[in-house]
Amino acid sequence: MEGGQKNTNFKIKLELGENEKDEYINFLLRQYRLVDAFWFLGVEDRFGLNAAVELNERVWEEMAGRSARDIKKRFKIEGKGLKGFIKALKYFPWSIIVGYEVEGQPEDGKIVIKVPFCPPQEARLKSGKKVFPCKEMHYREFKLFAKEIDERIEVECIFAPPDERRDVWCMWEFKLREG
CATH number at residue 156: 3.30.1380
* Residue 166: burial class (beta carbons within 10 Å; 0-12, 13-18, 19+): exposed
Arithmetic mean of pLDDT, 132-154? 97
Report pLDDT for 7: 66
Check the CA dihedral 64-127-122-156 and report its sign: negative
7 found inside a domain: no
How many domains in the chain?
A: 1
111 found inside a domain: yes
Report pLDDT for 3: 59
Arithmetic mean of pLDDT, 63-73? 97
Report pLDDT for 18: 86
Arithmetic mean of pLDDT, 145-163? 97
6 found inside a domain: no
Quote the mean pLDDT of the chain: 93
Arithmetic mean of pLDDT, 110-126? 96
82 found inside a domain: yes
23 found inside a domain: yes
pTM of the predicted structure, to 2 decimals = 0.88
Arithmetic mean of pLDDT, 74-102? 96
Q: With 80 as the cut, is the pLDDT of residue 11 above it?
A: no
Arithmetic mean of pLDDT, 77-88? 96
Its domain, for residue 147, covers 18-176
2 found inside a domain: no
